[in-house]
Amino acid sequence: MGSQWGFEIRQIHANQEPDPASGSRGAPIYQTTSYLLHDSQHAANLFPLAEVDNTYTQIMNPTQMMFEARLQTLEVGLAVSR
């Protein structure tokens, strides 16, 4: 969503892409507290944030990533933790 949209519209619709499977415009709600660690090296890379992926809900999760991307669009700058 480019700068042709006003601030109010971008607050609601920024970084929303329709889900190809369901056609939903809204972000899904992930009701989980933890995510799969593929192996010990994957875990070792995730927690010091050497690799960006979902880890534990308090650290990094899909909802947080979406929020940061939307905030980045509103502030017209770099994403918060990417």
- The domain locations on the chain are 1-18+32-82
Asked if 32 and 57 touch (Cβ cutoff 8 Å), the reply is: yes
Asked if 55 and 47 touch (Cβ cutoff 8 Å), the reply is: yes
At 77 the three-state DSSP class reads coil
| Alpha helix (H) residue ranges in 1-82 | 7-13, 40-46, 62-75
pTM tops 0.85, yes or no = no
- List CB contacts of 28: < 8 A, sequence separation 6 or more: 19, 62
For range 38-50, the mean pLDDT? 89
Percent of the chain scored above 70 by pLDDT? 88
Confidence at residue 33, expressed as pLDDT on a 0 to 100 scale: 82
pLDDT digits (tens, 9 = 90+) for 18-43: 878 878 887 777 788 888 889 999 98
